[in-house]
Amino acid sequence: MTGLKGRVVSGLRWQAAAKLGSQLISWGATLVVMRLLAPADYGLMAMTMILVGLTSLVAEMGLGAALVRSPEVTVAQQRAVFGLALLVNTGLYLALLALAPLSVALFSEPKLWALTAAMGLQLPLAALCVVPESMARRELRFKQLSVVEIVQQVGAAATTLACAWAGLGVWALVAGHLAATLIKTLLLLRFGTVMPRFALRGQRELATFGGALTANRLVWFAYTQADVFIAGKLLGPQLTGAYAAAVNLANMPMQKLMGISNQVAYSAFSRLQGDPKALAQGVLGSLRITATIGIGLLWGVGATAPDLIPLLLGPQWQLAVVPLQLVAAVVPLRLVQTTLSTATIAAGHVGTDLRNNLVGLAVLAPAFATGATWGGVNGLALAWLLGFPLVFAMAVKRITGKLGLGLRQVLRQLLEPVAAGAAMWGSIEFVSRMLTGLVPGPLSLAVQVAVGGLVYVAVVALIDRPTLRELRSFVQRSPA
CA–CA gap between residue 423 and residue 418 (Å, rounded) = 9
Spatial neighbors of 396 by CB under 8 A, at least 6 apart, are 337, 340, 407, 410, 411
- Domain coordinates in residue numbering, the chain: 1-225, 235-480
CA-nearest of 338, 353, 402 to 218 is 353
Half-sphere exposure of 281 (CA within 13 A, CB side): 5
Sign of CA dihedral 99, 104, 105, 110: negative
In the prediction, which pLDDT does 271 show?
Answer: 56
* Residues 352, 446: Cα–Cα separation, whole Å: 44
How far apart, in whole angstroms, are the C-alpha atoms of residue 135 and residue 195?
15
Q: What is the pLDDT of residue 13?
A: 55
Q: In this structure, which amino acid lies at residue 175?
A: A
Q: How many CB atoms lie within 10 A of CB 165?
A: 12
Instruction: Spell out the residues 6+ positions from residue 434 whose beta carbon is closer than 8 angstroms to its own.
Output: none
- Cβ atoms of 290 and 336 within 8 Å: the answer is yes
| Backbone φ/ψ region at 199: left (φ over 0), alpha (ψ -120 to 50), beta | beta
- Low-confidence stretches of the chain (pLDDT < 70) are 1-27, 59-66, 69-71, 140, 199-213, 253-276, 279, 471, 473-480
pLDDT at 98: 92
Q: Which of 171, 226, 221, 148 is nearest to 387 (CA)?
A: 226
Query: For position 204, what pLDDT does the model report?
Result: 60
Q: Which of 133, 120, 147 is nearest to 54 (CA)?
A: 120
**Phi–psi pair at 200, nearest 5 degrees:** -120, 20
Cβ atoms of 295 and 253 closer than 8 Å: no
The pTM of the whole model exceeds 0.85: no
pLDDT attached to residue 444: 92
